[in-house]
Amino acid sequence: MTKPEILVARAVFPEVIARLEEHFVVESNQRDDSWTQEQFIQKLQGKQGAFTTGGDRIDAVVLAACPDLKICANMAVGYNNFDVDAMTQAGVIATNAPDVLTETTADFGFALLMATARRMTESEHYLRAGKWSKWSFDMFAGSDIHGSTLGILGMGRIGQGIARRGAHGFGMKVIYHNRSRLSAELETDCKATYVGKEELLKTADHVMLVLPYSPASHHTIGAAELSLMKPTATLVNIARGGIVDDAALASALAAGRIAAAGLDVFEGEPKVHPDLLTIPNVVLTPHIASATIPTRLAMANLAADNLIAVLTGKKALTPLN
């Protein structure tokens, strides 16, 4: 029997490519070239499977040009790069990579919160620039994490992981807002209290964004929402670019309307709003919340498992449609 053909759209672990090659004829992009949509379509034509990452868009145009496609496996839990309705209509299975990255991403969310509230990068830049000539009582004074109120917007698995870290590890009061309320059991486990979005923004000392991106969550945090937050508050976004209006955030930070922000994701990344690059009270990281080798390997293997299952006639492990 001839092996199905697949495209791996971005560079990944060689051992994952080797696993895929046991089952498929693999065209991979180990040079990690950036492709235009036209080039992507050209490579995908005639393939039954695609291994994608968050930057590879699968929409009606791509689907219409690639009628042999049966499955697209995303090496990401977020899947706003997929038009799932169009995929369903075209009979293409969509899968993501949940669970395997939950704890690693929650660790990072917490790290970014602490770095932001305690002004770690801002103070390091000061030190490296040779500006530290003497200690002073209020030098880089930040805000406390322990005992403060953590407001989490989006309470999926990663949000719950951050809530547990905050409540159990740091004695934080955790409040959350989500499309649906957690079960009583999960609320007890996370020590988290459900509140409305406005109450969360007004009362949290630290606001953590962990909600999925969709047209409905576009600019969930804009000028109006930022004006509700405490002037001493921090905002952390590890969800997706576009959930925050980055221009409005840059103005709020520059004007001191909130104390600080920590951002791992950006509107139009890898481009970053130029004002954010010059403002001191923002910690910036290049979309690395899931970046540990074991976790990225688990994500890649889960995407590979989905491709292998579907193209050998079995059910997808983590289907989206």
Binding site for ligand 8YV (CB under 6 A): 53-54, 75-78, 101, 290
Taking the least distance from each CB to ligand 8YV, the nearer of 69 and 75 is 75
Taking the least distance from each CB to ligand 8YV, the nearer of 54 and 142 is 54
With CB atoms as reference, the residue minimizing the distance to ligand 8YV is 54
Taking the least distance from each CB to ligand 8YV, the nearer of 77 and 309 is 77
Query: Burial, 78: exposed, middle or buried (Cβ in 10 Å; 0-12, 13-18, 19+)?
Result: middle
Helices (H) and strands (E) in the chain, counts: 14, 12
**Minimum distance of ligand 8YV from residue 246's CB (angstroms):** 17
**Minimum distance of ligand 8YV from residue 299's CB (angstroms):** 7
Answer yes or no: are the C-beta atoms of 71 and 316 closer than 8 Å. yes
Taking the least distance from each CB to ligand 8YV, the nearer of 77 and 145 is 77
DSSP 181: P
Answer yes or no: are the C-beta atoms of 206 and 236 closer than 8 Å. yes
**Alpha helices per DSSP H over 129-245:** 157-164, 170, 184-190, 197-203, 223-228
Taking the least distance from each CB to ligand 8YV, the nearer of 4 and 54 is 54
List all residues 6 or more positions away from 29 whose beta carbon is below 8 Å from its beta carbon.
Answer: 7, 8, 9, 10, 11, 35, 43
Answer yes or no: are the C-beta atoms of 258 and 279 closer than 8 Å. no
The CA-based diameter of the chain, rounded to the nearest angstrom, is: 74
**Minimum distance of ligand 8YV from residue 72's CB (angstroms):** 12
Q: Whose CA is closest to 50, among 82, 15, 98?
A: 82
**Minimum distance of ligand 8YV from residue 101's CB (angstroms):** 6
**Minimum distance of ligand 8YV from residue 281's CB (angstroms):** 24
Walk across the sheet containing 25-28 and list its strands. 25-28, 5-8, 49-52, 71-74, 93-95
Which residues does the annotation mark as catalytic? 240, 269, 287
**Residue 315, token pair as written in the block:** 């059910």
